[in-house]
Chain A
Amino acid sequence: ETGVTQTPRHLVMGMTNKKSLKCEQHLGHNAMYWYKQSAKKPLELMFVYNFKEQTENNSVPSRFSPECPNSSHLFLHLHTLQPEDSALYLCASGSSGRVNTQYFGPGTRLTVL
């Protein structure tokens, strides 16, 4: 068990829809992350939050909008996505320490039609 939960586990949406992915961590960590894993490609870091503040945005298109209301919750708001955005979206949490071991959720499998 990872202590990081993600909902929904699967999502199918049209290009004109608006949806949100939710991540919750119960590990007391102060850093949270969104990663994208496309088929046949390595994980790509999208966003980093430390103590609820966004500290990194890896040139992610504005159709992806993160939100971190508190240290335990992280959202990824999606709107007007493209079919190439279909991927596994993974949330992780970690402590902002020297080692920064990260704990991942199971991911949301997103399909954009």
Chain B
Amino acid sequence: AAGVIQSPRHLIKEKRETATLKCYPIPRHDTVYWYQQGPGQDPQFLISFYEKMQSDKGSIPDRFSAQQFSDYHSELNMSSLELGDSALYFCASSLDSQETQYFGPGTRLLVL
């Protein structure tokens, strides 16, 4: 079965640079979620979108923004990167916001 696709899988950036992470949900899923997992930490919810509208917002820094496009894929834009942004970024998708969330393989971001 098709799963959530994330790209890139690995990304190395320097401080103050920008990064864009992409997420392609499972076909027919209309809700996407972004989570950040720091080293040795549990995943923390950042933001979610349902039918291209922001649905819920968590601990997402103001330097980050995200959107969901008409084909339901989502992008997380990260600006003025800081060392502390180094983490695994997971995207998850579900059929709607009440259904089970399925996670993608993640993007490992390293900020130097």
Q: Do A and B come from one complex?
A: no
